[in-house]
Structure formats: structure tokens, C-alpha cells
Amino acid sequence: MKETDSSLYTAFKAKDTRFDGRFFVGISSTKIYCRPVCWAKQAKEENCTFFSSAAEAEAAGYRPCLLCRPELAPGNSIVDATSILAHKAARLMEENCGTGQNLEELATKLGCTDRHLRRVFMDEYHVTPVQFLQTCRLLLAKNLLTDTNLSVLDVAMAAGFGSLRRLNDLFKKQYHLSPTDLRKNIAKGKRQTSEITVSLGYHPPYRWEEILEFLSQRAIPGVELVKDGAYMRTVRIKGREEKNFCGFISVKNHPKKNVLVVSLSDTLLPVLPQVLARVKRLFDLYCEPNVVYEALQTMNEIRPGSCIPGIRVPGCFESFEMAVRAVLGQQITVKAAGTLAGKIAKTYGNPMETGIEGLTHTFPTAEDMIALSDHIEEHLGILGVIASRSRCILALAEKLVSGEIVLDGSADPEQEMKKLVEMKGIGNWTAKYIAMRTLGWPDAFLETDIGIRHAFPDSTPKELLALSEKWRPWRSYATMNLWNSL
């Protein structure tokens, strides 16, 4: 840790939520490690050791606290990382801990050698990538054992251990108790249902109503639904051996615990880590709102009330779906774009039974669009999509499948934006919007956007872009604040 132990202990003693997930505290008297917000009896300073990650604490021989549950701690914002590469690798490992992806494959995806990745990862997290991946799996297993009534075998497979024996061995080695023993120590009365419920932590404050309203206005009929304070959607994810898994999820906020509660159909259990990683991306759970607000609060001097603590930048659950939605939305209303996207989903997506009125289809994949390539203008034209948009959607699908364009956590947003604007039918606004939503790019400012122009009616786009320089590297959040202020 860069800060002194004394200052970290002060933050630990204050239970300051701003530090949740930024460090962990090992208690030598109990050999347990905690989040800085843990409400257990305060440990003496001389008994505390501070770690930058849960993996580092476990590597030092500490077990996770059963009260504050380190697996629920929100992650660090990637912009603050001393090594962007290491943080990208960490997020990809969290997402793919159940797929069996090895370090060489991960390094190739990130465009570096596995040796270089080991070195920068060790510098940033003080553990090897393998140790970090092991902790991801253990904490996911602990989360499932605590919050669900899944069998221990199902937990082992969902968390990526491959076998019950492997889970038992590592659990006993790291935590000095078996998965079954953990179940005996937690609250009883969990009821087995066809849904799985998992909690994901975030840094407060969290403006849940604002992000829900944003998603509601842009929900694709049949695919997404916002109702009764919850976001719901259909899901189709490719897992091991290219097998597709379909189901549905529901996400609600639990503000008293600073967590989002994710319920998913049991058909998605084999791809659970991917589902949870996508929910984190969609709801911007890595954001540190106090850091963002401190950087942007000068916005209120220019436009009073425009900057509010806790605003998030909505990400996306499925990159191709989001990119198509962005292409369709050029020069038409938000509602009209949603209608077109819904028609595409109903006609070319996969129908599915969810038991939820309004959720009927998954959105077609890039491969589904390529299958229509011979007559793409005709296929989409009868739905109301103009020919130029149809050709752009097909080109985008082909580039995503070929790997020419990458819209996931391994990508360099600025490089991908350059590739996007080179495509016929995608302008600067669309490229920035796609990067903001699919790549989690925090520094996209849409100076030509009609909403931004309404917020500053007397300024030209060039003047707005110059004004936004003072808001780097959080200009995506500045954009969201301005949209919300209208």
C-alpha cells in the first residue's frame, strides 16, 4: 500500500465507504481479513496489516471475514490504476474464472506476453495472476454458498473449479473449513428455487433512480424491461465449447447494504461469472463516485445543479446489441430507435419463455446478422431500417466476429474509436457513445449531442469541447450529469 499504515488504520476505524474495495485489512489475532467498512469489533492498530487486494491477503494466510464478506467489495476504477494492463487482466479473470481460460490466452487477448503480464500484475497486486484467479473463484464460491441454496457441486462448477474435490481442497487450505462447514455457520432457511440470487457491492452514493430511468427509456422491447424498481432482461451467453446458455436476470438495489441484488434463472449457472461481470459493467459498479464528484463539481459554477454525487455511466450487457442500438439511434428519437431494435429482436432473435410479461426474445448475435448478409438491406428494410444503417450493422457484425474491432474489457477505447469512425455510417458521436457504453470509457464527451447543446445553448461544439478539457478524465460522467440536468 502506498499510504502509511497509520492513515489506512484511520480510514478503517472511520468505516469510510470511500475506501471500500481499495484496501483490505488483515487481523493478526484472528487471521481473518476484512473490508475497511467491517462492523466487527475494532481491531488494535498493531494487529492490522493492510493489503491492496483480497488475493494478496489470502496469499499472506488470511481468511475472509464472514461478517463484512470481502467478496462483496466493489473494485477499483480502472482510471486510477497504476497499471491499466493489470486492471484489465483482473477484470477479465473475474469474468472468465469459470471458463478455464489460461494465462497465455489472457495475455494474447491483451496483446502482451504472459511473462510481461505476470510482471505488471505482481507489481500492481503483489500476487501472481494464478493466485488472483484462485481468489476470484474462492470468493465467488463463498458468495454462492452464503447467498444461495445451490448444491456444493453446482457451486464448484459455477465458480470454475472443475470438480468438487478441487473446491474442497482449496477451501480447506485457504479458509480452514469445508464448504459444508461454512453453510453450517451461516443463517438457515434458504429456499431452493429456480432462480439464483447474488449480491454485488458498490461505492455509495449510488443514484439508482437516474440509471434506471436512463435504461428504461432505451429498453429494447422484448429484450429489456424496467418495472417495479428493477431492471430485467433476457440473456444469451456463449460458454465453454461454444455452447449457448439462455435465461433471464433481474437486478434490484439494496441501498442499506450498498449492494445490487442480482437474480438469475438457473439455466445461466454455467456462465455465472460472465453474467455477474456484465452486470457490473452495465451498472458501473467499479465507479468511485466521490473521486468523480470532486473532479466535476466545478460544473455547478457553470450550470448550477448539473453535477450530483453518485451519478453512474450506464454500460451495457451485450456489446453487439448496444452497438446496433447506437447505430439505429443516429438522427432519430430514442423511442424510435428502441422500436426498431425491438422489431429486429422479435424477427431475428431467439424466442424464449421467461414467465415475465414483456421478456420474450434474446437479441440476435453478430453471427445471426452475418447469416442474413446476402439480403441484409431487404431483411432489415422491411422492419423500417434504412439501407445505409443495414449495411453498417452488417459491417459491424463482420468486424466484431473477425476481431478487427473489439468491444470488451481487453480493448483500448481510443484505438477502437478510431476504427469505428473509419466505418461508413458511424460518425464521431456514435463512436464515442459506443466506447462510453460498451468499453466503459470514462472520458467520452459528446460535444455535438443535442442534449449537451441544449445544456449550453450559447456555445458551439468547438467551445464545448474546449470547456470539457477541465473535466478530464471523467467526461463521460460530465455528459451523464448534463443529460440528467435537462
Distance CA 323, CA 285 (A): 21
Give the 3-state secondary structure of residue 246: strand
* Residue 477 to residue 472: CA distance in whole angstroms: 10
Whether a cis peptide bond, with omega within 30° of 0, leads into 129 is no
Cβ neighbors of 10 (< 8 A, separation 6 or more) are: none
CA distance to 67, 256, 359, per residue, from 75 (Å) = 19, 19, 31
Q: Which residue has the cell 418495472?
A: 227
* Residue 220 burial (C-beta neighbours within 10 Å; 0-12, 13-18, 19+): buried
Alpha-carbon span 100 to 111, nearest angstrom: 19
375, amino acid identity:
H
- CA dist 258 and 391 (Å) reads 44
Give 178-189 as a DSSP string: -HHHHHHHS---
Q: What are phi and psi of 94, to 5 degrees?
A: -60, -45
The grid coordinates of residue 346 equal 422479435
Burial 20-56 (b: 16+ CB within 10 A, else e): bbbbbbbbeeeebbbbbbbeeeebeeeebbbbbbbbb
Q: In terms of DSSP H, where are the helices of 195-333?
A: 208-217, 272-282, 289-296, 299-302, 319-328
CA 279, 212, 408, 239 torsion: positive or negative? positive
Element (H, E) at 361: strand 361-362
Distance CA 281, CA 294 (A): 22
Is 449 among the catalytic positions? yes
User: Can you tell me which residue has the cell 496489516?
Assistant: 49
From 34, 48, 97, 307, active-site residue: 34
Spatial separation of the C-alpha atoms in residues 70 and 37, rounded to whole Å: 10
Residue 138: partners with Cβ closer than 8 Å, 6 or more residues away: 58, 159, 170, 171, 174, 175
Catalytic residue (choose from 316, 443, 449, 458) = 449
Cβ pair 3, 26 in contact under 8 A: no
**Cα–Cα distance, 167 to 151 (Å, whole number):** 12
**Residues designated catalytic:** 34, 449
